[in-house]
Chain A
């Protein structure tokens, strides 16, 4: 507890009226400060010192502290790590850093600033998540699907989303929310 600086601890300390301690610069992690390469994530150019064969997932999570993208299987089988690379849904757990240099990466954190993306709105309206672990990947896959196919059928949704597993079994709500997001993207009802 003393050294844990995550949101739960900060919230708990705030709740209990304990002064917040700000982590000292240079003590956030053990990696060195020397950048060896830069990548573009959510429209920001960021320096990372990871080996070029490090999967993008770990660059995002460990090096850049963007933990919204999840580690599931590490073998591109479950979809929890899905991000957009130049707009296309990709499994970041098997995508080496060297393959995304010069490309535009979008993660769940960058889909919108305020949960205003149509897919996020629909997700909240239908209240899709249960445990939530797979949902970043589900949402990124759904957003990519709707970009290429603004009005997918049930069968097209199932085909496009079949690589995103949900152990809680939220599939019926996911499908419903994708239809709803398609409506939202199409604009106000005529």
Chain B
């Protein structure tokens, strides 16, 4: 669809040479549960749209990852670089994160959209980004060994450099040569006991922009010639407009267009405030449709009926039940608005609602990189 996506197909298939000479690794954060790394990325070169995150090491020693997941307070811009930094043997401060723009190349194959959610960013990236970091480190090491005509076993990756026999080359110096090295297939990741970065609290990298107003939120995006719309929608889901009188709204200052959609009326104006003011003057009578009687009780009754009719799902099946005491209960949960998050520092903790509200330790789970900050963060991904 765009030149960016087109470039993605041409230039960002597995490993390659970056503009200006450097190392690029394409990898997949799919959310589909399918494991993929730079090596797999090479195999799936025909489906370049699946390569939606890139690690770039430039000649000037800058290290960048482009991430297709939104930072929405869950710490993903800090946590994902931590995974790379751990295996790449660099200081976390050396890594810059670039937010992926909208584009086909960033569509999450797991759900068909450019979506961040269901708390899966770190779980999904947990092995992939570490593997990508390790692969990049190994390719840099291979390049250094070739350059010095020595055995790869003599080379050590230390804080953004490769060192051997008292000689040192930076990642930036090696990046162009490393891009020509084969992507290692056999990748050994650091055991948990050797983690230097993962699992340790650190300041979020997105905080500076959030204390000076420069962080860009969805509401802050401005396009050339952009107009603003205020939408009037039926108070009942699925309701439709029965009658509309928009005569007064059309005469309000700044109003450009008044449009009808299946579910409501859209007032388009030069400025958002103008659109909001004009929306107030719309005279709409609604046809509420079939959902008018829908309320909590009805939803609850429908769920109970459905649950009683089906065989249900087995969530877990451990042991054979011998000597077990059977408890039966019907549990009903309402939709919870509260955010929740988990943190791993030896044992898991689950927090909800607010920082510091500790619920209980949970069993260990391999797919967690720990909180990106002091205390546990709210939900998101």
Contact = CB atoms under 8 A, between A and B. Distances in A.
Partners in one complex: yes
B378 A130 contact: yes
Nearest to B253: A51
A69 interface: yes
B72 interface: yes
B98 A12 contact: yes
Contacts of B19: 16-17
A8 B224 contact: no
A133 B276 CA distance: 21
B353 to A, nearest CB: 6
Interface in A101-139: 107-109, 111-112, 115, 120, 123-124, 127-133, 135-136, 139
B211 A27 contact: no
A133 B71 CA distance: 12
Interface in A62-83: 62-63, 65-71, 74
A100 to B, nearest CB: 15
A84 B217 CA distance: 22
Interface string B63-84: 0101000001100000000000
B203 A133 contact: no
Contact of A132 (B2, B3, B73, B373): B73
A90 B235 CA distance: 32
Contacts of B211: 115, 120, 123-124, 128-129, 135, 139
A170 B207 CA distance: 13
B210 interface: yes
A129 B208 CA distance: 9
A98 interface: no
A189 interface: no
Contact of A50 (B98, B216, B271): B271
17 contacts: A5-B224, A8-B98, A8-B100, A8-B101, A9-B101, A15-B98, A17-B20, A61-B220, A62-B272, A71-B219, A111-B212, A115-B208, A129-B73, A129-B204, A131-B72, A132-B207, A132-B209
Interface of B: 1-4, 7, 18-20, 56, 64, 66, 72-73, 98-103, 203-204, 206-217, 219-228, 253, 270-273, 276, 339, 353-356, 373-374, 377-378
Interface of A: 1-9, 11-13, 15-18, 23-24, 27-31, 50-51, 54-55, 58, 61-63, 65-71, 74, 107-109, 111-112, 115, 120, 123-124, 127-133, 135-136, 139, 168-173
